[in-house]
Amino acid sequence: MDVQLVCLENDVGLFAGMTFPHLRPLAQKLPSSWVAVGAVVGGLPAGLALGLVADDGQAELMSVFVTARSRRRGIGKRLLETWMAEVGTKGARSISVRFAERGERRPALEALLSAAGWSEPVEDGLVVLGRSGAMVEAVGGWAPVSERLSKQSLYTFDPLNLTEADAQRVDSLLALSDAKQMHGPLRLWPQLEQRVSCIVRREGELIGWVLAGPSRQRWSALSEGRTTQDTQDASLIEYFEAYLDPRYWHTAIAVGAYHHCYSRQVEFFGPQSLALYYTGPSRPRMVHLTRRRFAPIAERVETIWRSDGPPVNMPQEPKRERKFHVA
């Protein structure tokens, strides 16, 4: 069996059907940070490994697929290993993959990762998806939240207009151990939709934030393109990050901040627009809050699993064709 592994550049159109629907538009013009490796059998596309390399050197495998007629021949493992070598030439220092617990292809993916030397999957957090209108109605009805929201003289939810003092306050909050893995509004600024993001203040002092914007591709792919019914034309806003000074975690103001942002989302994108957010295991209090408060009113909750690839060496440029066309 003649199997050819090819590094695909720019136009991946012939292989576009071999990844998640939400990622297929990328196939027409592959961004420079993305890496695609195709498998060709008998002159025809037979598989695709697709992922990206972030600026910090973290590579993330987004999808790997082999056509039904070419499976059980070791092509998937060769495809993945070639992709791993390729991201090494793009500056990757580490590799990971995330996938949904209920994903239909999870068993096959886990078997492939194990064969290629990846780590045993571990739980990596929750992704929650719900209609903004329903979320506003439900959250606004919680007694602790409505009580806190009535005390506008104490807490406010302000636009992202940061003063120099605010910027210093953000830096001091990010230095806290509780803020591990947080980025803050200044670093995330280019990704944000300011109309649905806010700064939380207590008596004028910045004590936290909720930051949101158009959804990134990775979470769309985690559920294999399945979200909820009638969502194809609905706006999807991702809540990238929420943080609150630990001194005020006993209050309901964190949930109140979400309520404010959901309300803004309803105003600008409509009650049927989708709100999505991820919370990781490094923030157990937020995971608990999510399971207790948000999961019951969401349309979909997915437990996310993560596997890490073996250490990435910096190999020399592998010999390969730079682009492949099928007549």
pLDDT higher at 227 or 283: 283
Average pLDDT (255-270) is 93
Range of the domain at 86: 3-92
Among 99-103, 261-265, 290-294, the minimum mean pLDDT is found in 290-294
Domain boundary, last residue among 92, 113, 147? 92
% of the chain residues with pLDDT over 90: 47
Inform me whether the pLDDT recorded for 220 exceeds 70.
Answer: no
Element holding 5 (H helix, E strand): strand 3-8
pLDDT-based confidence at residue 141 (cuts at 50, 70, 90):
confident
pLDDT higher at 193 or 277: 193
The torsion angles phi and psi of 143, rounded to 5 degrees, stand at: -55, -45
Average pLDDT (56-83) is 92
Q: Are residues 208 and 296 in the same domain?
A: yes
Which residue type occupies 306? Answer: R
pLDDT-based confidence at residue 41 (cuts at 50, 70, 90):
very high
pLDDT at 148: 66
Q: What is the mean pLDDT of the chain?
A: 84
pLDDT tens sequence across 104-132: 888 999 999 999 999 999 988 888 888 99
pLDDT at 225: 44
| 36 domain-assigned | yes
Distance CA 155, CA 149 (A): 8
| 225 domain-assigned | yes
| 216 domain-assigned | yes
| 140 domain-assigned | yes
pLDDT tens sequence across 282-326: 777 777 777 777 777 788 888 889 999 998 865 544 444 444 433
Q: Are residues 131 and 226 in the same domain?
A: yes
Q: Are residues 64 and 143 in the same domain?
A: no
| 110 domain-assigned | no
pLDDT higher at 217 or 245: 245
Q: Are residues 130 and 33 in the same domain?
A: no
Q: Are residues 153 and 278 in the same domain?
A: yes
| 196 domain-assigned | yes
pLDDT at 244: 94
| 105 domain-assigned | no
Inform me whether the pLDDT recorded for 184 exceeds 60.
Answer: yes
pLDDT higher at 261 or 125: 261
Overall number of domains in the chain: 2
pLDDT at 20: 83
pTM score of the predicted model: 0.72
Contact 46, 77 (CB under 8 A): no
Q: Are residues 193 and 241 in the same domain?
A: yes
% of the chain residues with pLDDT over 70: 87
Distance CA 42, CA 3 (A): 7
Token pair for 8 = 């695909």
b/e 55-79 (16+ beta carbons within 10 angstroms → b): eeeebbbbbbbbbeebeeeebbbbb
Distance CA 165, CA 92 (A): 36
Q: Are residues 31 and 141 in the same domain?
A: no
| 235 domain-assigned | yes
Residue 192 belongs to a domain with what CATH number? 3.40.630.30
Q: Are residues 47 and 149 in the same domain?
A: no
pLDDT at 249: 85
